[in-house]
Amino acid sequence: MNGTVLYDSECALCNSQVRFIRKRDMGNLFRFVPLQSEEGRSMLRSAGLPEDELDTVVYVKEGKDLIRSSAVLEILRDLGGGWSLLRVLGVIPPVIRDFFYRLVARNRHRFPTSARHRFSDKS
């Protein structure tokens, strides 16, 4: 196992992303923990975040807590293949990447059903 992904289990977009990762995780590298679980809340606190921080993905890897866009980019890198190429977006300063991450995170529950399916595990 490579790392643990903390995600909002009550979010359709977040759940579709978990399905996306699972489908491509040929090496069984990822473990998934809902933010709403006791373990998830504890891991949030360990990462220095409030336990009610449901708008943030956290990727715990090798004892390091990666959050928001940094977590997403590292997950894509660890997926390998063409997905790892998106790691190049890491040259964009985190403050800019996280601005867009927060914009999507704040509005993720507003996506219409058809948009949720577009982000699902197809492809």
Neighbours of 71 (CB within 10 A): 22
- The distance of Cα 27 from the centroid of its chain, to the nearest Å, equals 18
Determine the 3-state secondary structure of 65 from DSSP: strand
DSSP bridge partners of 34: 7
Residue 67 confidence (pLDDT) above 80 = yes
The reported pTM is 0.83
Residue 73: partners with Cβ closer than 8 Å, 6 or more residues away: 86, 87, 89, 90, 97
Place of tokens 């992904």: 5
Q: Could you report the per-residue pLDDT of 4-24, keeping only the tens digit for each?
A: 999 999 888 889 899 999 999
Alpha-carbon span 44 to 20, nearest angstrom: 23
